[in-house]
Each structure stands twice: as structure tokens, then as C-alpha cells.
Structure 1
Amino acid sequence: MVIRLKNASLRFLRDVVCRVSSQVLPAGYSEDVHPLIRRFCLARTGRHTNIKVDDKFSYQGAADLPRGNSDHDGEPSHDIHAMRKEFRKHGHKKRHGTKANNSVPRVSQKGCYHVKKLPGRAFQPYIFQIVLDTPRNVLRTVLDKWMEDGNHLERNEVLLVLFHLRKQLLYNKALQFMEWIERRKLLNFEERDYACHLDLIARNHGIEAAQKYIERVPKPFRNEVLYETLLVNCVCLTDIQKAEQVFKEIRDLFLPLTISVCNQMILLYKRVARNKVVDILMLMEKENIKPSPFTYRLLINLKGQSNDISGMELVLNMMKDNGVEPDFATQTMVAKFYISGGLTEKAEEVIRAMEVYIKDKRHAIRSLLDLYAVLGRPDDVARIWKLCTEPKLEDFLAAIEAWGKLGRIEQVEETFEALLKTSPKLTSKYYNAMLKVYAGNELLAKGKEFLERMCFSGCPNGPLTWDALVKLYVNSGELEKANSFLLNVTEENPDRNPLFGSYIILLKAYAEKGDVRNAEMIFDRLKKIRYPGRTPPYGFLLEAYVNAEVTPHGFRERMRADNVCPSKPVIEQLKRLDNLQKGAETIE
């Protein structure tokens, strides 16, 4: 009876999703740049055209966020999950049988590790600090010397190092550390160790290298966890061919087909081949695999992105009928789709119901501030903010962003000053939020003034700060200054690239002006950096030719050389430009 009900639910979901048409969605540290930023923010603001560039493009900066595996509250890959679980289990236990310190390093608010000098021996910092501070080209030598000095390494220390390296997106160094452990045979590798190693190989060297690594893994450990980790990386790169190949291997090897694997395929198809989502739902029905809350969230997101509000509501109701109550994240998603669909009353109804979470869930206030700001409700933003009697740093950040969306600059600045009183030594994250507000509201003078303040405060900056500065100049129409800044910051920081999105917003601005020469120049610089998993943005480049009414000779051949398949809009634009050229030749 249970199976019958489950299958009926899956058939219903399949029928709902069948109404979605196939749609291909487009596909991304040196700290001391204060003199460079000062040079740009002190430059006099000249006349500028009023060009507003929408920064909500489909590309995401590769350096901005760690590669996740979901659009909304995704499920982490097994290796990450195991690492976090093991760290929580052992991370704060005292170590035994080691010549190092007797406790796991404690992290201060500044991110520094407190270490103690042991009596009778030379000072030895914690292994994570050594890995973090050592250049990659000598890391193996330094670690070998550390072992020769009589130090020992335990599993909880390895997990700690990998946890923090991944958290800081230092995947290359994490892979070096993992390979050093394997070469020295310091650990008896277990399921999660092989999965973690495979994940790091995929991130650094690509899917094919990760597939070759599987051949080195002992057969007892070539299980669904290993293959799912590989699948997650394929989905992160939106590599549909490799993902389907891995999925087929899972089936051919008769490995257990888990709901997590099915969710990864739904996530992939939701992005690039929506008509194939129904195939996964049919397979789940056949294999009697029960949908998880994440499955429902993916389908709700799918329907919402397709602007099929009635279909979204059907999935939501089916979710409730099967005893799965929508959590706060799902309700937030539904509210946003109501807002984007112009259904303000329904959105307000959902948001009001979400206010019951304020007392129990700390993050509820942050989401509600954002939702009321998107709705354009300053009174409700003020009301929710007053309910936050003991705000944390992230609460201040949410309030700054909410007031910024409403264009209430005075409240934004008051909130930031209150934040400084709470925590005088802020990281660049909070300064960047202010820069984004000034950029979004085209307040170039205020943005420059704030940048100077940021520099004098000694706050470190990086790609996110550079991105905010680029947006500030672009949104104010000063494209040449944005271009010059990007060029200089790249030259002065050869070991750290600007965000992919920083180039995209500038490319889009030149494209809107029909400035083919500068658009080609930005496109060329973007290609040379080679952001992993990022497809060359030919669509934005073509827009420059369209707006300039210039035929892009050899454009199809260029795309073919980069293995980029033209989308339907690109094909139509190329045909239009071809016809334009033929018409000009006829007149001549």
C-alpha cells in the first residue's frame, strides 16, 4: 500500500513536470592593492553616460563561492558531509600519543590560531598553520621536515586541515596535502578519504583525471559514495555528457541507486535539459525511490523558474499530502516566485506565515528583511529589524542589503555605523556590502569616499572588493576606469584573478553601447584566464556586434573552435546580421 501511494505521488510529479519545455540555461592571494584602489578612488569623477547594467547575469564568479551542488539548499557530496561529521565528532577531542600540543587549535575571531610553546623543545606551529603559510612549490619539503622533527599526524588533524583549506577555497593546496599523506602512508584510507581525494582531483584537474583515479582505488571502496562524488563534480561543471556517463556506470555496476544520485541528475537536467527531468522521475517510480524534501524543492524551483505558478502550487500541495512540511527555505523560495510572478498578495500571505520562525530560527529575520525589501515595504523592514534585539554580524549585513534595495542610504549608513560599534575590526565582507549598495544606487562619489575609508582602516581586500569597485564604475557609466582598474589589479596580483562576473558586467556594458573593440578586448582577456567550468560568453560578445550593426565574420568558427554550441537566440542574431550584410551588398 505504501509503495502504491509512493508511485502515485511520483506519477503525479512526473505529469506536472511533463508540462515543462526543454530549456538550455547559460553557464564563474595577494591582499595588498590599497595603493591601486586609492589611485582610482581619488581620481576626479568626469562626465559619464547614464548606463545602468543589470548585474543579475547568468554567470557566477568562480572565485566568489565554493562550487556547490544545488541552487537552493543543496545536499553536500558525501566526502564533505563525512568530513564535517568526523570533524564534529573528533575535532575537539584531546589528542593522544602525539608529540605536538595536547589540544586542537582554537580559532580566534580574527581567524588566527593560538598555539603554545612546549617546554623543552623548539616552537612548532600547528600543522594547519604550516600548510596555510607555506608556498605550494615547497609545501611537500616543509611537511617532510615537520615529520622528521618528530611530529605525528592523526586523523582528526588531517580532517581539520582539509576542512579549513576547503572552506577557504584552497583546493590546490588541499590536494597537495592529501597527496603528501598518501605518499607517506600516514593514514589507512577509508571510504571518505578516497571520496575526498577524488573530489579534490576533479576540482583541480578535471573529471577525466578523477575517473583515472578511480582505477587506483581498491575495489572494495569503489562504491556508490565514490561515484556520487564524481557525479556531483560533473553536475557542478554542468557537464551533461560526463554526468550521464557516470550515471550509466552506477547503473551498469549495479550500485545502489540513491535518492541523492537522482537529485543530482534532476538538478543537472533542471539547468540544461528540462525535458529530461521526467525521465528521472519515471526511474524513481520504477525503482520505488521516495522523493526527499530536496527533490520537492528542486521541482518547485523548476516550476517557479518556468513561471508556472499553478504547477509550483501542485508540487507544493503534493509535498504536504505526503507528510513533508515545507521548511523555511522552501517557503522563502515560494514567496520569491510569487513576487517575480506579480502575485503580491500570495507572497505577503506566505511571508506573514514565515514570521512565526523569528523566535526559533536566527536566520529567519535575515530572510524576512530581504523579502520585505524586494516587496518594497520599508515599514515592514523597519518592524522586523526592531525585533532583532541582539543582532549578530550577519543580521547587520542583511539589514544593510535590505535598506540598500529600498534605496534608503541614510538607514544603510546608520546600520553600518552601528555595526562598527559592535565589532570595530570588520572583514572586507561587510565593507563590500556597503560598496555594493553604493554601486546599485549609482552613488559614485560616496563609493569613492567609502573606499578611501576602507583602505585607511587596514581592511584587506580581494576579488569581491574589486568586483564591487568595477560595478560602482560601470553603473556610474565610467567604463574606461573600470576597464583600467581590472587591467591593473590583474597585473599587480598575478596569483589571484578577478571574479568572472567582474569581466561579464564590463563586457555587457560595452555590448550595450555597441563598442565592439572594447568588448573583444574584454572577451580576449576573459578567455586567457580560463575560469574552470566557465563557457566563453559568446552571447554577450555577439550583442556588441548586434548593437553596432556590424557583421561578426568567422563568429561561428570561433564558437566551434571553443566547443561552444550556439543557442537559439545566438543563431537568430547571426542570421539577422548576415541578412543585414547581404542587404548592404545589394544596395552597393
Structure 2
Amino acid sequence: MNAKGHVKFLPKDHAVHLDLIGEIHGSSAAETYFNNLPDKDKTEKPYGALLNCYTRELLVEKSLAHFQKMKELGFVFSTLPYNNIMGLYTNLGQHEKVPSVIAEMKSNGIVPDNFSYRICINSYGTRADFFGMENTLEEMECEPKIVVDWNTYAVVASNYIKGNIREKAFSALKKAEAKINIKDSDSYNHLISLYGHLGDKSEVNRLWALQMSNCNRHINKDYTTMLAVLVKLNEIEEAEVLLKEWESSGNAFDFQVPNVLLTGYRQKDLLDKAEALLDDFLKKGKMPPSTSWAIVAAGYAEKGDAAKAYELTKNALCVYAPNTGWIPRPGMIEMILKYLGDEGDVEEVEIFVDLLKVAVPLNSDMTDALSRARMREEKKVKDAVRMWVGDGNQNEILSDIQ
């Protein structure tokens, strides 16, 4: 619209457009758009949008050079550019570089916002520098313009959990809970997961009850979170009950929910239960997708049961759809093809390879399995002939077969 002259873009509009270009077409396309802007439109907003494109793609040199240019032009006067750079270092795993960025921000008279503090707190926690983490949190709590949100305390708790500092983790979680919006299911899910990592079943159940009571809607994500925690706590029977509750909840049927329990069955070596659950869904007219069959197949492969792994992987391939996030595991497929090459009928191998070729390119393992199965079949026929034909006619008949 702007290019046709229908609407006059302001710098802020260019910034939004530039960021979208970068997200869809990449930073090079965003650069081209930026370079073609009139100088009068190259304000802090388009500059900031281009910085966001660079940091999103983890382009360190371009990000830092562009950030320096913004500073020279006087365009770094808010938290956003600094947050971009701190996010860049975080995503690169260079957590030790984050504190110096927030220090520079403060030295330039810019008060960090919630995100600034949270990313700095996490940078200390990730490096197990709990002294630095606590000092930053205390500074944040004392900053009059900042209201510490539940997510910040959850980040602190998560880092304490990783450091096995349980008492302080519990304290941080209580502070987080005091800050949540009681209608926000995401906050409950997050806290439930953290209590799950602490192994505190009573707190998990308490928060789940509050979530069920306080939140108007209970979506599939809520159930997958709680199921995952119950599985982690080895509460398989409770997870089974919860799955039944989900089935009767009226939510859209999504196999990502039962897949959590299937994964739990696999981890606990309850593969009979996993198969029974799949059969139960089939009886209800719900065809499990490839991912569900593959979870159980992987469990059998881990036990060295190639026959069962083959059976379930074949089911997975029969319902395979591209671009659904599932690709057959190379190691398991190698095991199955070896098994089929050594023991499978030729027809079985041919059918499996035909199914497999839809999901992965034809390779030497597939052709080798076919070759070995055919050689075994030929040998079987020859051996049968030798058993039933006398020595006088054997060579002639074998010649006809060949």
C-alpha cells in the first residue's frame, strides 16, 4: 500500500513492516528494505527493527556493529536495544556477557525493565552464580518503577531447582504464586511443572485443584502439563484417571495429550498398557497418528524386540503424513530392516520398504534388506526341491527354477 502511494508510512510503520520482512524473508531482505528507506525515515524505530532481525538470526557481528551505529546516532535511549543484545547473548549461551550489558544500560541512565532484570537474573542462575542472582533480584525488588511479576520469581525458582537449593526454590515459588492472576492457566501450568521437578505431589495437586476451580477454560495444554508431571512423579494410575477426565472434558481430541501417557508407559516399561491404550482408541474410532505408534515402537526397540518394533512402526508408516513432525528414527529403522532381512518374508520386506520410502529416501539398508530376504527365499525353495526330488532329477529342476 505504501509503495503504491495509497498510505503514507511513518517511521514506526516502516519498523513494523521491516520486522515482518525479516521474520518471513530473512535479515538480508530486511536490510534491503532498510537501505532503500529515505534518510528522514531512518529513525530509531526502523534501526531497532533491523537490530531485532539481526539478533533473531544470531548474527553477532552485524548485531553489535548495528548496535554501535545506533549508539553513535543517539538512538539507544530505551531498554529495547539492550534487551535485544542480552537476548542475543542468552540464545548463544554466552550468559557471562549479559551483566555487562545491563550495567552499561544503567550507566547511561536507562532503568532496566522486567525483561532486562529477568534475563540478567537467569544469566546468573544458569552459571550457578546464586549470589549474583539474588543481588539482582533484590535490586529489582527495590526499584520503585518495577513491579516484580510471577514469572521472575519462577525463573529464580527454576534456577534454584537446577542447583538443588530446595528451600529457596520453595520460597521463590510461594512468591511467584502470590503474584499470579488466578484466572491465568499458563501461570498455574508453569508452577505445577516446577513443583513436579521438586517432587512435591501435594503442591502439584493443590495447584491443579486451584486451576480447575479458578480458570474458566481448561485447554489441552493444561492436561498435557499435569499428565507430564504425574508421569514424572511415577503416579501412573493418577495419570490414567486424568486422561479419562480429559476424554470426557469436551476438548478437541488431540493425540498430543495421550502421547504424554504413552511416553510414560514407555519410560516405565509398561508397553502392554501402551498397546492396550492404542487399541482402546481404535475401538472408539480414533486412529492414532504416526507419533503415537512410534512412541511404543521405540519402547520395544529399546528392549531389543525388533519384531514388535517392526509391527508398530509399520502401523506408524501406514498413517504417515508429511510435515507432521514425525520422521522414523534411523537407528530403529536400521534394526527393523536387519530383522526383516534376516527373518522376514519377501512380501513383508517389500511392503515395509514401500511404506518407508514415502517417509525417507531409499537407501542401502532398504535395498540390502530386500536382497537378503530374496536370497533366503531362493535358498528356501532350493532346499525344498532337494528334499522332495531325487538326485537324478534335482539338477534339472534347480536349473529350471534359476
Report the TM-score range of the alignment, normalised by the length of the smaller protein.
0.5 to 0.7
Q: Counterpart in 2 of 1:306?
A: 127
> Secondary structure at 1:422's aligned position in 2?
coil
Q: How does 1:505-516 map to 2 (within 5 A)?
A: none
**Preserved CA contact (<8 Å) 1:427 1:459:** no
Q: Please give the alpha-carbon distance, in whole angstroms, between the structure 1 residues aligned to 2:228 and 2:133.
A: 28
CA distance in 2, matches of 1:242, 1:469: 45
Q: Where does residue 404 of structure 1 map in the other structure? A: 231
Correspondence 1:380 to 2:207: no
Corresponding residue for 1:367? 190
- CA separation in 2, counterparts of 1:376 and 1:410? 17
2:241 and 2:61 mapped to 1: Cα distance? 51
Partner of 1:245: 65
How far has the Cα of 1:403 moved from its partner? 1.0
1:398 offset after TM fit, Å? 2.9
Check whether the contact 1:227–1:250 (CA below 8 A) recurs between aligned residues: yes
**Residue 199 in structure 1 maps to residue 19 in structure 2:** yes
- Distance in structure 2 (CA, Å) of the matches to 1:509 and 1:338: 41
How many angstroms apart in 2 are the aligned matches of 1:192 and 1:251? Answer: 19
Q: Aligned partners of 2:259 and 2:7: how far apart in 1? A: 41
Evaluate the alpha carbon distance shift between residue 424 and residue 453 of structure 1 in structure 2; reply closer, same or farther with a 3 A threshold: farther
Give the distance between the partners of 2:238 and 2:7, measured in 1 at CA.
54
Gaps of 5+ in 1: 1-180, 511-527, 530-588
How do residues 284-299 of structure 1 correspond to structure 2 at under 5 angstroms? 284-299=105-120
The residue that corresponds to 2:339 in the other structure is none
Flag the 1:469–1:197 CA change in 2: closer, same or farther, 3 A. Answer: farther
Deviation at 1:232, TM superposition (A): 2.3
Q: Is the 8 A contact 1:444 1:473 kept in 2?
A: no
Determine the structure 2 residue equivalent to 1:523: none
Ranges in structure 2 where 5+ consecutive residues have no aligned partner: 335-359, 362-402
- Distance verdict in 2 for CA 1:282–1:384, change over 3 Å: closer
- 1:51-66 mapped onto 2 (5 Å cutoff): none
Residue equivalent to 2:156: 334
The CA deviation at 1:257 is 3.5
Shift of the 497–232 alpha-carbon distance from structure 1 to 2, 3 Å rule, reads: farther
Task: After TM superposition, list the pairs within 5 Å mapping 1:455-466 onto structure 2.
Answer: 457=285, 466=291
Superposition map of 1:345-364 within 5 A:
345-357=167-179, 360-363=182-185, 364=187
Is the 1:231–1:264 contact (alpha carbons within 8 Å) kept by the matching residues of 2? Answer: yes
Q: CA RMSD in A?
A: 3.9
Distance 1:444 1:183 in 2: 61
Q: Is the 8 A contact 2:98 2:120 kept in 1?
A: no
- Give, in angstroms, the shift of residue 302 of structure 1: 0.5
Contact 1:444 1:472 in 2 (8 A): yes
Distance in 2, matches of 1:187 and 1:226, equals 18
Residues 377-424 of structure 1 show CA distances to partners (whole Å, capped at 9, x for unaligned) of 223322333334446224333322221221212111211211222215
Matches within 5 A, 1:378-527: 378-390=201-213, 392-393=218-219, 394-451=221-278, 457=285, 466=291, 473-474=297-298, 477-478=301-302, 493=321, 496=323, 498=325
Q: Give runs of ≥4 in structure 1 deviating > 6 Å.
A: 182-186, 505-510
Once the two structures are superposed, residues 288-345 of structure 1 have per-residue CA deviations (whole angstroms, 9 ceiling, x without a partner) of: 1111111110111011110112221111111112233431111111112111111112
Q: Which structure has the higher relative contact order (CA within 8 Å, separation 6+)?
A: 1
SS of the residue 1:404 aligns to: helix
Structure 2 match to 1:39: none
Would the aligned equivalents of 1:442 and 1:472 in 2 still touch at CA under 8 Å?
no
Correspondence 1:127-142 to 2 at 5 A? none
Determine if the alignment matches structure 1 residue 233 to structure 2 residue 53.
yes
Q: For residues 486-526 of structure 1, what are the alpha-carbon distances to aligned partners after superposition, in whole Å with 9 as ceiling and x for unaligned?
A: 9x97x9655x2737xx79x978999xxxxxxxxxxxxxxxx
State the secondary structure of the residue aligned to 1:360: coil
| Alignment partners' CA distance in 1, 2:2 and 2:287 | 38
Q: Distance in 2 between matches of 1:186 and 1:445?
A: 65
Matches of 1:367 and 1:322 in 2, distance apart?
26
Counterpart residue type for residue 415 of structure 1: L
The amino acid that maps onto 1:237 is: E
Counterpart CA distance in 2 for 1:410 and 1:328 is 32
**Identity over aligned pairs, percent:** 25
Which residue of structure 2 aligns with residue 517 of structure 1? Answer: none
Indicate the residue corresponding to 2:32 in structure 1.
Answer: 212
Distance 2:258 2:3 in 1: 43
TM-score (norm. length: structure 2): 0.66
Deviation, 1:441, is 4.1
Q: In terms of Rg, which structure is larger?
A: 2
Q: Distance in 2 between matches of 1:311 and 1:268?
A: 20
